[in-house]
Amino acid sequence: MQKILVAHDGSKSSDKALKKAVELAVKFNTSLTVLSVIPELYLTELSGVDRSRIFDALSRETTEAMEKIRKSLSGKSMDVKTLIRQGDPAEKILETAQKMKAELIVTGSHGRHGTKKFLLGSVSSKVVDYSKCPVLVVK
C-alpha cells in the first residue's frame, strides 16, 4: 500500500477515520492525504451575498481545520498532504482518489449532517458504492 486518502469534514466520525488512517499510514509506511470538501450551497432562499458570506465562513473554517490537522501530524513519520476541494463531497472524494491513485479511502460512517438511524451516511455510502479501490468506513 502506497497511498491512503482520508476524508475529513470536522465531525467526530471523521476524526475517528483520521486516527485510523494515521495508524495505517504509520504501520505500512505510506503517504496520507487528508481531504476536506466544502459542499456547494444550494439554498435558494438565500441571496447571492448571503450565500457568499456562508461560503467564505465555511472556507475559513475548513482551511483552519486542515492547518490544525497538518500541524498535529507534522511529527509523524509519514508524508502528509492536506487538500481542500469544493463541490459534492462524495464526487470529490472519488475524483481525488482516482487522480492520486489511492490504494485505500478511509471515511467516517457519518458526516456533519449524518444521522444515526441509517447504517451509513449518504457520502460514505456513495463512496463505498462507486470507489475503484478499497474503502474503510470507520464507525
| Cα 29 to Cα 16: distance, rounded to the nearest angstrom | 20
Report the domain count for the chain: 1
Q: Could you say which DSSP state residue 46 is in?
A: S
Position with higher pLDDT, 107 vs 40: 107
Q: Which long-range contacts (CB under 8 A, 24 or more apart) does 127-132 make?
A: 127/7, 127/90, 127/93, 127/94, 130/90, 130/94, 131/94, 131/97, 131/105, 132/97, 132/98
What percentage of the chain carries pLDDT values higher than 90?
68
Of 31, 13, 26, nearest to 136 by C-alpha is 13
Residue 91 grid coordinates: 464526487
Position with higher pLDDT, 78 vs 137: 137
Kindly report the CATH number assigned to the domain that includes residue 114.
Answer: 3.40.50.620
**Res. 93: pLDDT tops 80:** yes
Q: List Cα–Cα distances, 88 to 11, 51, 135, in angstroms.
A: 17, 16, 18
Structural domain harbouring 39: 3-138
In the block, residue with C-alpha cell 465555511: 58
Q: In sequence order, what are the beta bridge partners of 138?
A: 108
Position with higher pLDDT, 135 vs 42: 135
